[in-house]
Copies of this chain bind each other. A is one copy, B any other.
Amino acid sequence: MIEKTPSVVVVGSVAVDWVITPKAERETSVGGSATFFSMAASYFGPVRLVGIVGKDFPEQSITDLQASHVDTEGLEVVPDGLTFRWKGRYHDNMNERDTLDTQLNVFEHFDPKLPESYRRSEYLFLANIVPALQLKVLDQMDERPRMVGLDTMNLWIENTRDDLLKVLERVDVLTINEEEARQLTGEPNLVRAARRIHELGPKSLVIKRGEYGALLFHDGDVFSAPALPLEEVIDPTGAGDSFAGGFVGYLARVGETSGESLRSAMIYGSVMASFCVEGFSYDRLKGLTHERIDERFMAFSRLTHFERARLL
């Protein structure tokens, strides 16, 4: 099946993070939205990465991506630059964090160029980067992809709202945090925020809620995917991007976007996010098998299943 799966192009950050949690710390933890997305999506079909790193980026991570069959032709390595760096500390509940430091480095002048071989891909995910660059990538596609997904953040909602609205008009699926959905629409109620977002372009909306799971709004329908209660959460960094990787990867694999496929995609996204948080960086996303992924899908099924009951 995997041979026939259309490839997914992702553009986003590739970073070296410094992650501090209540119980542990990793000073050189490879991260970035495109990295997590790619590693997660790679289990569903071919992935093509667009990003930028500096001379300090660990060679091992490029090897890891390639070993996971991620096409890195679109990963620009700047020989005299440094990789984007983020440093953050998680609170005791592991659901909130403080950013301690951000160094854009080569990311500041990132000018994504899609390799020729990427331009006819049917699935495109615009991970969290400045909307002007998301637009630029979308414009480089030979034709409008079958599905365009997008992630964004408070910074762009506040500072580059016009560009964001322009790209949103051309997007099929928006993945966004709960607070960002409220901020984007000015609407505290999520059901009404979702309606406003549909009007901005995206037919499908995924609202991410961290350890509380995610909601899908699509065609008047709502679906709630829980997060798996885990005994050991090591590092939540990248959970949302791993979710997006599993979500888009699964949709590309099945080749359709019916309500049912979107629901299964939400669960595969949740599965990949649950693996992600069990380790630093992409440690736990590496070397998974389809069998283990399916096992965890079944764990979500057990987690949410109930029989129909009636009072009448």
Q: How far is the CB of A154 from chain B (nearest CB, A)?
A: 15
Interface residues on A, range: 35 or more
A140 CB–B CB distance under 8 Å? no
> Is A230 in the interface zone, CB < 8 Å from B?
yes
Q: Are B224 and A303 in contact (CB under 8 A)?
A: yes
Contacts of A291 in B (CB 8 A): 312
Question: How far does the alpha carbon of A6 sit from the alpha carbon of B55 in the complex, in Å?
Answer: 72
Instruction: Give A35-46 as 1s and 0s: 1 = Cβ < 8 Å from B's Cβ atoms.
Output: 000000001100
Would you give the shortest CB distance from A280 to chain B, in whole angstroms?
17
Which one of A209, A226, A301, A302 has the greatest number of beta carbons of chain B within 10 Å?
A: A226
Interface contact B303-A189, CB-CB below 8 Å: no
Tell me, in angstroms, the Cα distance from A298 to B310 when the chains sit together.
9
| Interface status of A94 (Cβ within 8 A of chain B) | yes
Residues of B within 8 A of A62 (CB): none
* Alpha-carbon gap, A192 to B230, bound state (A): 9
CB distance from A131 to the nearest CB of B (A): 26
The answer to whether A231 touches B191, judged by C-beta atoms less than 8 angstroms apart, is: yes
Given A263-B307, A312-B291, A190-B268 contact (CB < 8 Å): no
**Distance between A285 CB and nearest chain B CB, rounded to angstroms:** 15
| Residue in B43, B188, B229, B305 whose beta carbon sits within 8 Å of that of A311 in the complex | B43
B226 x A224 contact (CB < 8 A)? yes
Q: Mind listing 5 A-B residue pairs with CB under 8 Å?
A: A189-B230, A250-B309, A263-B306, A263-B307, A291-B312
